[in-house]
Amino acid sequence: AQSVAQPEDQVNVAEGNPLTVKCTYSVSGNPYLFWYVQYPNRGLQFLLKYITGDNLVKGSYGFEAEFNKSQTSFHLKKPSALVSDSALYFCAVRDGSVSARQLTFGSGTQLTVLP
């Protein structure tokens, strides 16, 4: 079975400081990893994904994420946080095998950027 863990329910960071939102995963095959963001009263929006290749992937709104196979992690990062980045962030994983069918989400991390 595949799973995702987001160890922090809440992350607070000052505007202009770097931010990190943590994610670890478990999957039997090759991991396909995704980050989504949810603003209040909205659906989830795709930020970025790792499928293969370069371990550092770049996505929307200046976000990036680093895939670390040995630590089974896929942490979301941004060099300089904005107040408008405040939202709920979800990490998700899909097994890369041909038979994989499910997309599994973590419990979410509420990011608050303080002015």
Partner 1 sequence: DADVTQTPRNRITKTGKRIMLECSQTKGHDRMYWYRQDPGLGLRLIYYSFDVKDINKGEISDGYSVSRQAQAKFSLSLESAIPNQTALYFCATIHRGLNTEAFFGQGTRLTVV
CA angle 92, 35, 39 (to 5 degrees): 110
**34 contacts partner 1 (rule: CB under 8 A):** yes
**x/- track of binding to partner 1 for residues 7-26 (CB under 8 A):** --x-----------------
**39 contacts partner 1 (rule: CB under 8 A):** no
Name the residue among 40, 38, 30, 43 with its Cα closest to residue 2: 30
3-state secondary structure 34-56: EEEEECCCCCEEEEEEECCCCCE
Give the interface segment with partner 1, choosing from 19-27, 42-50, 62-70, 76-84 (CB under 8 A): 42-50
CA angle 86, 52, 58 (to 5 degrees): 30
**67 contacts partner 1 (rule: CB under 8 A):** no
Which residue ranges make up the site for partner 1 (CB under 8 A)?
6, 9, 32, 34, 36, 41-46, 49, 51, 90, 92, 94, 96, 98, 100-108
